[in-house]
Amino acid sequence: MAKVAKEMVEKAGIDVNELLKLLVNNAAAELTTYYYYTILRANLIGLEGEGIKEIAEAARIEDRNHFEALVPRIYELGGKLPEDMKAFHDCSACPPASLPKDPSDVQAILKVLVEAERCAVRGYTHICNMTAGKDHRTYDLALAILNEEIEHESWFSEFLGEGPSGHFMRRGETSPFVRKFLT
């Protein structure tokens, strides 16, 4: 635990236990989403499915990176991960991104993907609002994750025909914003 770092956050008026609960619940959302996206990606087949497999994969890997980046901050602030993975799964801040009843329905899979990203965007926006100007390290981390979640949302919403995202594919490595936390 980073004792003084935690004291500074408390002195800034943040309820560290509430913040830790949010960080653990969002870490659970990241790891469970990584798992569920693995199933969704496997079912993205055929002409339509193959077209979005690459962005689903980029989002999947980046969600795993988000989990990896959150864990050190949880322990720095004196928190910990639940010892039981089932309990960890069930405390997720977002509902499971489960495979739709008809796994061949690519539009339905896209809706699951975009809703998962929208849940994440809401969650990290809340953490940014809570930590801005008070907990600089958590704010920096949450903002980096938020940037990637917003890009994921816009990619998938574009495929749903909701409007142009202005983005193109990730060129090269994943996690352009969160990478600095993955030392």
CA distance 39 to 44: 9
Residue 120 or 142: the one with the smaller Cβ distance to Fe ion is: 120
CB of 43 to Fe ion, least distance (A): 20
Closest to 15 (Cα-Cα) out of 138, 104, 101: 138
Q: Are 41 and 142 in contact (CB under 8 A)?
A: no
Which one, 6 or 69, has the nearer CB to Fe ion?
A: 69
Q: How far is the CB of 1 from Fe ion (least distance, A)?
A: 25
- Look at residues 56, 59, 7, 30 and name the one whose alpha carbon lies nearest to residue 141: 30
For Fe ion, the closer CB: 30 or 151: 30
Q: Return the SS3 of 25.
A: helix
| Footprint of Fe ion (CB under 5 A) | 30, 63, 66, 120
Furthest-apart CA pair in the chain: how many Å? 55
Minimum distance, C-beta of residue 64 to Fe ion, in the bound complex (Å): 8
Among residues 62 and 135, whose Cβ is nearest to Fe ion?
62
What is the closest distance, in whole angstroms, from the C-beta atom of residue 127 to Fe ion in the complex?
Answer: 12
